[in-house]
Amino acid sequence: MAQIAPDVLPLARVYRWEKERADKPWLTQPMGGGVVRTWTWAEAVDESRRIAEWLQSHGRNHQWPIDAKIAILSKNCAHWIMVDLAIWMAGYVSVPLYPTLTAASVNQILDHSESKAIFVGKLDDYAMMRPGIPDEVLRFGCALSPSDDHRTWEDIVASNPPMPGETRREADDLATIIYTSGTTGMPKGVMHSFGTIGLAPTALADLFGNTPDDRMLSYLPLSHVAERLIVESASIYVGYQVFFAGTQETFLADLRRARPTIFFSVPRLWVKFQQGVFSKAPKEKLDRLFRIPFFGRYVKNKILKQLGLDTVRIAGGGAAPMPKPLLEWYRSLGLELLEGYGMTENFGVSHGSTPGKGRVGYVGAPYEGVEQKIAADGEIMVRSMCNMMGYFKEPEKTREALTVDGWLHTGDRGEIDEQQRL
């Protein structure tokens, strides 16, 4: 990987905010029963340091390799991000697992990744997954974890000192292995470096002017690269606050609590929001109200406030095309939905629309530092410093996906317009 400024790397950013934003809120988590807890930067990093100290000590005692793999099996929660940092601080590699996998898939990924330990977090059906975790894999959890005989986060934090100093991980070091969905067979383990995780959010910050005053709600799976980029990596790079959703039933309340300035979702949720509005007031009636001077603006603001979206300055969508009528309706509210495109193999750093420059059916121009081209057969090819290191233990599949000069085969077809929008 080309030279990357050391202060861009994720752990360097975390240690910076630990000092500069020590008392500023970072992670806000519903704990159940109406209780909500917020960790400041100093508090969150302190707990990560204690988990890291315990992991590293256990690794020494059991002679784990220096790049031991530690799995994360959990829905989104504050502990997801804190344990990711702890794994990195301890010198290891994180392996996120989707929180909806079958026991067989859990076992398959743990075996393939050679994971030595697993963090079991917030889950809906752990009883179904539990048989997939081998007895020799060390288990630990947190207050939000299902009941089991594993070590608890709270016990580990209380009984271990914080890891001292500032762990240095080089840009070329392996940071994480993100397994693809595996819909067409054995999931592939996409390897990404600390350089990629540090560099990736700079593209978003340059494009959208992210600041520490921004806020996000995390609810799409952190095991997926989009949330890993937009929520975890971007908050670490910029220093902004992340709120987590509790349950489906509390989602709207969680959204209103967060009042995000940046909100990203898949098209079906944008449709669901719209349907919820129409269930209270038919579209035809709203269209008439919108046309009334001054009052129309009041109605639009009221709708956005009820949804918890009245402070959103950047609204995005991806994973599937956005219907034109949906884009137009949100634009009439004053909310421009920006579409984007990316893959696990390039950590989501590929293409994005910018305010006022979107085009229906297009996902925007390449991010800064991303090259694009259309191959003779119509396939989209991209090249950037955020392309993967390769597939874990799959050199042949890596050669199929990456050309010798660094171009990534996306497997998708597309076209590029005169403004370089894909």
pLDDT at 358: 85
Structure tokens that stand for 204 in this block: 């978003």
Rounded Cα distance between 250 and 318, Å, is 24
Q: Tokens 């500069």 sit at which residue?
A: 20
- In 3-state terms, what secondary structure has residue 207? helix
Min mean pLDDT across 148-157, 225-234, 332-341 is at 332-341
Query: Collapsing DSSP states into helix, strand and coil, what is residue 249?
Result: coil
The pLDDT score that the predictor gives to residue 233 is 97
Rounded Cα distance between 273 and 322, Å, is 14
Q: Cα–Cα distance between 126 and 10 in angstroms, integer?
A: 30
In contact, 316 and 267? CB cutoff 8 Å? no
Give the percent of the chain with pLDDT over 70: 99
pLDDT for res 268: 87
Between the CA of residue 350 and those of 123, 146, 262, 363, what are the distances in Å?
A: 31, 37, 19, 10
Q: Residue 339's beta-bridge partner residues?
A: 317
Q: What is the mean pLDDT of the chain?
A: 94
In angstroms, what is the C-alpha Rg of the chain?
22
Task: Give the pLDDT of residue 319.
Answer: 73
- Say if CB 261 and CB 316 are below 8 A apart: no
More confident residue, 277 or 319: 277
Q: What pLDDT is recorded for position 36? A: 97
Residue 252 identity (one-letter amino acid)? L
d(CA 39, CA 47): 10
Q: Give the pLDDT of residue 4.
A: 86
Nearest CA among 369, 386, 20, 350 for reference residue 194:
386
| Predicted pLDDT of residue 69 | 98
- Indicate if the pLDDT at residue 318 is higher than 90: no
How many Cβ atoms from other residues are within 10 Å of residue 270's Cβ?
Answer: 22
Q: Which of 246, 242, 27 is nearest to 144 (CA)?
A: 246
pLDDT of residue 1: 44
- Least confident range from 118-127, 173-182, 368-377: namely 173-182
The set of residues, in sequence order, having a beta carbon less than 8 Å from that of 37 and lying 6+ positions away, is 28, 29, 31, 78
Q: What confidence tier does 2 reach under pLDDT thresholds 50, 70, 90?
A: low
Task: Taking residues 46-74, report their average pLDDT.
Answer: 97
> Residue 190's pLDDT is what?
98
CA distance 373 to 415: 9
3-state secondary structure of 416: coil
Q: Is the pLDDT of residue 57 over 90?
A: yes
Element housing 90 (H / E)? none
As a whole number, mean pLDDT of residues 160-187 equals: 90
pLDDT of residue 126: 96
Whether 183 has a pLDDT exceeding 60, the answer reads no
Q: At what angle do helices 78-89 and 41-61 cross, to 10 degrees?
A: 50
- Give me the mean pLDDT over the 104-132 stretch: 97
pTM of the model: 0.94
Q: How far apart are CA 75 and CA 77, in angstroms?
A: 6
C-alpha distances out from residue 253 to 268, 311, 373, Å: 19, 15, 44
Question: In Å, what is the CA distance from 186 to each residue of 72, 133, 198?
Answer: 19, 17, 29
Amino acid 320: pLDDT: 77
pLDDT digits (tens, 9 = 90+) for 227-256: 999 999 999 999 999 999 999 899 999 999
> Distance between CA atoms of 372 and 376, rounded to whole angstroms?
13
User: With 60 as the cut, is the pLDDT of residue 150 above it?
Assistant: yes
| pLDDT exceeds 50 at position 20 | yes
The percent of residues in the chain predicted with pLDDT above 90, rounded, is 85
